A and B are shown apart, each in its own frame.
Chain A
Amino acid sequence: GAGVSQSPSNKVTEKGKDVELRCDPISGHTALYWYRQRLGQGLEFLIYFQGNSAPDKSGLPSDRFSAERTGESVSTLTIQRTQQEDSAVYLCASSKGLAGVNEQFFGPGTRLTVL
């Protein structure tokens, strides 16, 4: 079956522009996570969805970042007024039910470069 997919794979934008990053989780996976990986660093948690609700948004770094999920499926991470420090690889993961006991499956990521 298909894994987690993300689009675009690469995005180059100018400072101040808005960007949307898309994640298509594995079908039937109710939990969805966004992480950010800056160059040479580990992954930072951004937001968690259970179904279409986001009970944990604690990792979003500023109010320029938002995310939504619809149909208990696709999720979009939006970054408004991008800054150079937003440059990173944005990874999406999904799992059946609650992760921990259930494995999180990661997508290939979207590499965002803000000029």
Chain B
Amino acid sequence: AQSVTQLGSHVSVSEGALVLLRCNYSSSVPPYLFWYVQYPNQGLQLLLKYTTGATLVKGINGFEAEFKKSETSFHLTKPSAHMSDAAEYFCAVSSGSGNTGKLIFGQGTTLQVKP
């Protein structure tokens, strides 16, 4: 079975500071990993994904994440937070070939950006 743990339900940073949102996963097969963002009163939007290949993946809005198999982690980072980054962020995993594509989500992390 697959699972996702997001460490910290709330993260608060100052504008311009580094953003680090933590995600650890459990999977018995090579995982596909995703970060989604949910802005207030909006639907989920894909930020970035890892399927195969390069372990450092870049997404929209300056976010990136690194797949570390040895640590079973896929932490999300952004060098400099902007006020518009305030939202809820979800890490998700699905299995690779032969799967249904269903996503298993973490509990979410709410990012607060202080001026």
- A residues lining the B interface (CB < 8 Å): 3-4, 31, 33, 35, 41-45, 48, 50, 55-56, 59, 91, 93, 95, 98-104, 106-109
Find residues 1-59 in chain B having any chain A CB closer than 8 Å to their own CB: 4, 6, 32, 36, 42-46, 49, 51
Total interface residues on B, using CB and 8 Å?
26
Query: In the complex where A48-B100, A56-B100, A104-B101 touch, is A99 in contact with B94 (Cβ < 8 A)?
Result: yes
27 contacts between A and B (CB under 8 A): A3-B43, A4-B43, A33-B101, A33-B103, A41-B107, A42-B105, A42-B106, A42-B107, A45-B103, A45-B104, A48-B100, A48-B102, A50-B100, A56-B100, A56-B102, A91-B43, A98-B99, A99-B101, A100-B32, A100-B95, A100-B99, A101-B32, A101-B51, A103-B46, A103-B49, A104-B101, A104-B103
- B residues lining the A interface (CB < 8 Å): 4, 6, 32, 36, 42-46, 49, 51, 90, 92, 94-96, 99-108
